[in-house]
Amino acid sequence: MNERSRDALGYGQLTSLAAAVAVSTVTGGIPKGTETVLLQAETQDVRYRDDGTVPTASVGRILAAKTLYEFTVAQIARMNVIEAAASGKLNISFYGVKTA
């Protein structure tokens, strides 16, 4: 992360990933001031598309379980995810500049 993006702004988890879900629908939404977002699939691989197209369990880029990935808030705003295998969970951490 760059020097400006060091403040932790929030955390969320998506657990119902049997059907494609927009990452931006995480409880509480994307916090104001977010610049970068860290994603980690917890127990199963998760597939994503960040071009506005919905992924399927077999089509989309893979977020390998237990690996940390960094994205911009612009990518997250249009990203959809789906579990590649049953019981997928996605942990989401938001970073940026705290606003008043």
The pTM of the full predicted model, rounded to 2 decimals, is 0.90
Give CA–CA dist 85/100, Å, rounded: 41
Distance CA 90, CA 48 (A): 11
pLDDT score, position 46: 97
Contact by Cβ (8 Å): 81, 44: no
Partners of 37 in beta bridges? 71, 94
**In sequence order, which residues have a C-beta less than 8 Å from that of residue 16 and are 6 or more positions away?**
none
For the cut 70, the answer to whether the pLDDT of residue 2 exceeds it is no
* Closest by CA position to 89, among listed 8, 21, 36, 1: 21
> Residue 73 — φ and ψ, nearest 5°?
-65, -30
pLDDT in tens, 5-64: 479 999 999 999 999 999 999 999 999 999 999 999 999 999 999 998 999 999 999 999
